[in-house]
Amino acid sequence: MYGNVDRIEESKEAETGALREEFDRLVADEQRIEPRDWMPEGYRKTLIRQIAQHAHSEIIGMQPEGNWITRAPSLRRKAILIAKVQDEAGHGLYLYSAAETLGVDREDLLDQLHSGRQKYSSIFNYPTLTWADMGAIGWLVDGAAIMNQVPLCRCSYGPYGRAMVRICKEESFHQRQGFEILHTISHGSAAQHDMAQDAVNRFWWPALMMFGPPDADSPHSAQSTAWGIKRFSNDELRQRFVDMCVDQARVLGLQLPDPDLRWNAEREHYDFGAIDWSELNRVIKGDGPCNADRMARRVEAHEEGAWVREAANAYAAKHSRAAEVAA
């Protein structure tokens, strides 16, 4: 963990001293902050919270899709879905690895997830009711995630940016496979088309909420921007996402469920309807359709995996003893 925690405690006065100046200079020059560099305590805490929440989201995000692996409509779709869910696990691991460079322990992060002290993206608290939801998640949820994540590749904190580069490369497969699923179903029978439309109806608004509260209600954004963690505002990214989806929806032959959606020639953007932020707040507070299920499943998986971890430890201990005896 590069000793950052210690260094910070030893040098509180450094907040305004030479170390602080060096940190500010690096950020202003678009250089990267690396793990053993001095950094303000707030920067470190913000990153830990953000990266951990991001990692938790990847891990919890395996559940809504894992739900359909056994019921995928063909072997091709099943193989793809398994690979995608495996990627989500990998993304979680890249991110936990990045978070640990800030002096936290992976086990502690998991404890905080399991006890509800750290959050994950509220989008994963919605159920996946039909196969078409696999398409809507890939197209809309992964699409929104990519929109959020591409700027993070240039995040001022080196390990986070590097993890995001890997993740973004892999996410584009996720988005395309979702689009392909929806395109196929949408152009199938009338019942299949309706199923695709229903999935988009249910995921559209929660996907828009993934960009976070409106800029006016996002108190930490200014500081994150000043630190080079955040590159674009929530509303900017949300607008880009809407603009991108309108044309894609046309190709899919599906409607976006917003009667107020229309081109604004003056702004050169699509106007869209008001988002129900009370819904987001409700889901974040724990009152979404699947919050309890997701957490119960996660804790259960962790507890039921305990014997595997113990067995691996016992095996490693036995073989290191054998190696000592042989030497």
Which uninterrupted H or E stretch holds 163?
A: helix 158-186
- Taken in order 108, 111, 117, 122, the sign of the CA dihedral is positive
Q: Output 80 or 252, the one with its CB closest to other proteins.
A: 80
Q: Output 83 or 251, the one with its CB closest to other proteins.
A: 83
Which uninterrupted H or E stretch holds 177?
A: helix 158-186
Nearest alpha carbon to residue 5 among 32, 33, 34, 41: 41
Q: How far is the CB of 319 from other proteins (least distance, A)?
A: 7
Token pair, residue 265, equals 């020639």
Q: Output 83 or 292, the one with its CB closest to other proteins.
A: 83
- 8 A C-beta contact, residue 70 and residue 131: no
Q: How many CB atoms lie within 10 A of CB 260?
A: 9
Q: Output 111 or 194, the one with its CB closest to other proteins.
A: 111
Q: How far is the CB of 105 from other proteins (least distance, A)?
A: 5
Token pair, residue 80, equals 């793809």
Coarse DSSP helix, strand, coil percentages of the chain, rounded to the nearest 5 percent: 70, 0, 25
Q: What is the largest CA-CA distance in the chain?
A: 79
Residues that bind other proteins (CB under 8 A): 1-3, 5-7, 34-38, 83, 86-87, 90, 93-94, 97-107, 158-159, 162-163, 170, 309, 312-313, 315-316, 319-320
- 8 A C-beta contact, residue 73 and residue 79: no
Q: How far is the CB of 315 from other proteins (least distance, A)?
A: 7
Q: How far is the CB of 118 from other proteins (least distance, A)?
A: 16
Token pair, residue 70, equals 């056994």
Q: How far is the CB of 46 from other proteins (least distance, A)?
A: 17
Q: Output 268 or 324, the one with its CB closest to other proteins.
A: 324
Q: Output 86 or 225, the one with its CB closest to other proteins.
A: 86
Q: How far is the CB of 123 from other proteins (least distance, A)?
A: 24
